[in-house]
Amino acid sequence: MRNRAKRLLSLGLALALTTLTPGVTAAEDTANADRILGDVNGDGLVDIDDALHLFQHSILPDLYTVDYPGTLDHTGDGYVDIDDALYLFQYSMLPELYPIEWGEAGVTDKFIMFEPKDVFDAEEMSLTFNSTRLCASARDAKGEGNDVSYSAWMATYNQRLNDCYGIYYNLAAHKLLMSVAFYDEDGEYISGVGTDAMTGYATSVTGFVVCPENAAKVRFLGFNGTSVIPAFNHSTVMLFDSEESFNAAKAMYEFDGLKIACLGDSLTEGDYGPLTSYGGRRFENYPYYLSRLTGAEVTNYGRCGASSSSYLAEHFAKGDVDVSDSDVILLMLGTNKGLASGSGYYADYCTIVDRILAEKKPGAKLILITPPSATTDPTKINYGYMDNVLSANEAVRAIAASRGLDCIDALKKSPIKPQTEHLYQDFDGLHMNADGYAAFARFIAIELDKILSE
């Protein structure tokens, strides 16, 4: 995977080779003509060191051929310097600055969105969702494995597994339904894959599963869409005929086997804003992209409109959130109502944190995330949340420090900020678009990788 990424040569860096570095003569530059395109420092790799070299020798600014909204001081330290080059590379914002095709490089090559059919040694299954016969999960009143039907949800007819060893799946999910359901030769239910996510819509499951012994048939779940929630158009199933090819595919992901629970508000659940043209919740939320990027089993416990107090009273305290089997718990609240010191919202946030610490399994890691920036443009529909974000940022960092917890400062470090408002929904200024949720997921993946590597 990483080698594949390094072969994606950067045209942007290649352009830098046509600009002479200060102190390098034309003869010396000609002597380097056989160097790998993009390998500015000549170490055989196209990576973060090349970004450092470019910035140190004032080549990178010459590549900015488009006007970029806002400041180039991305780290907010008052200087446009090497730290900004590092920031751009780490959080994949460089492509936004260039009117050219930009290859993956350096620290970002761990988390690349790729299509499984392009890299897996497996057979892609053709999926047609035309059956109303759905498989119930344990949460449904009929009990796991029984047949049910729900509006807008369809399934494939039973597909034969033949000699299939295991399956990769990327499917729509519903808390009352199984996204993958295995049956024996007689059509008796054996087991399946579902979700514990609170939402009944706009969530998904991505991962690998070994076919159970005696499984002869399988059925997959699809979502055809409603007037406000578009259909899930990313359904993918890959069939592996051997344990070797199955394990090789799993090994392409950094966090394969890791279970991550994402707790939060609309920025976690995946709200696309109040405009009818965007339709509220969608499947392309940050937990979805986090799973696609890392291979982790990610459960979306986001709830639109939730403050810390409503999340505690209406969801967490009622048992809708189960983190007992999670390896990593990501908590991001505070955009709604803020977390002002001494307020009930602050106290309820602390209660959620302490409940998670008490309920998580030994060795599991709770990571607090400060909310990302909200718009400061009064013409946007969701103008007015920035004060909440600022109070939450201060509170979350203080609470994390007081309990010895890791904290991801999304306000300061994430790519979601005033100078990147193209990552928000148009006219919204708070909820992200698909590019925004993907960029935020990549940011979280990189920060999580740092934390788990310590």
* pLDDT of 423 strictly over 90: no
17-21, 195-199, 318-322 — which is least confidently predicted? 17-21
Is 64's pLDDT higher than 80? Answer: no
Asked if residues 343 and 392 have their Cβ atoms less than 8 Å apart, the reply is no
Q: Are the C-beta atoms of 75 and 84 separated by less than 8 Å?
A: yes
| Residue 251 tokens, joined | 């090994």
> For the chain, where do the domains classified as CATH 3.40.50.1110 start and end?
255-453
Share of the chain above pLDDT 70, in %: 74
> With 60 as the cut, is the pLDDT of residue 134 above it?
yes
How far is Cα 155 from Cα 133, in angstroms, rounded to an integer? 7
Q: Decide if pLDDT at 250 tops 60.
A: yes
DSSP state of 62: G
Fold of 255-453: Rossmann fold (3.40.50)
DSSP string, 372-394: PP----TTSTTTT-HHHHHHHHH
Q: What is the pLDDT of residue 229?
A: 84
For tokens 């991305």, what's the residue? 74
Q: How far apart are CA 209 and CA 382, in angstroms?
A: 41
In this structure, are residues 292 and 280 in contact, taking their beta carbons and an 8 Å threshold?
no
Q: Which has the higher per-residue pLDDT, 269 or 114?
A: 269
Q: CA 197, 201, 207 angle in degrees (round to 5)?
A: 55
Q: Residue 419 — φ and ψ, nearest 5°?
A: -80, 0
Confidence of residue 200 (pLDDT cuts 50, 70, 90): low
Cα–Cα distance for residue pair 80/75, rounded to 1 Å? 8
The predicted pLDDT at position 65 comes to 31
Q: What pairing do the DSSP bridges indicate for beta strands 189-193 and 180-183?
A: antiparallel
Residue 454's CB is within 10 A of a number of other CB atoms, namely 5
CA distance 59 to 65: 12
Residue 21 has pLDDT above 60, yes or no: no
- What separation in angstroms does the CA of 359 have from each of 140, 354, 411? 25, 9, 28
CA distance 201 to 180: 16
For residue 230, the model assigns a pLDDT of: 85
Q: What is the pLDDT of residue 28?
A: 39
351 exposure class (CB count in 10 Å sphere: 0-12, 13-18, 19+) = middle
State how far the Cα of 236 lies from the Cα of 179, in Å rounded to an integer. Answer: 12
Alpha helices in 109-193 (DSSP H): 116-119
Q: How far is CA 417 from CA 287, 423, 424, in A?
A: 19, 9, 9
Buried b (16+ CB within 10 A) or exposed e, 315-335: bbeeebbebeebbbbbbbbbb
Helices 386-403 and 344-359 pack at an angle, to 10 degrees, of 40
In a 10 Å sphere around its CB, with 0-12 CB exposed, 13-18 middle and 19+ buried, how is residue 197 labelled? Answer: buried
- Average pLDDT, integer, range 223-239: 91
Q: Supply the pLDDT for residue 356.
A: 98
Mean pLDDT is lowest, of 90-94, 184-188, 233-237, 444-448, for: 90-94
The residues pairing with 301 across neighbouring beta strands, listed in sequence order, are: 263
- List CB contacts of 183: < 8 A, sequence separation 6 or more: 158, 189, 190, 215, 216, 217, 218, 219
- pLDDT of 158 reads 96
Q: What is the pTM of this model?
A: 0.78
Cα→Cα distances 222→83, 179, 265, 418, 447, Å: 45, 8, 25, 37, 32
- As a whole number, mean pLDDT of residues 309-338 equals 95
Q: Higher model confidence: residue 328 or residue 382?
A: 328
Contact 239, 277 (CB under 8 A): no
Confidence category of residue 44, pLDDT binned at 50, 70, 90: low
What is the distance of C-alpha 206 from the center of its chain? Answer: 12
The pLDDT of residue 351 is 98
The strand pairing partners of 331, in sequence order, are 263, 368
Q: Are 271 and 149 in contact (CB under 8 A)?
A: no
| pLDDT averaged over every residue in the chain | 81
Q: What local confidence, expressed as pLDDT, does residue 454 receive?
A: 83
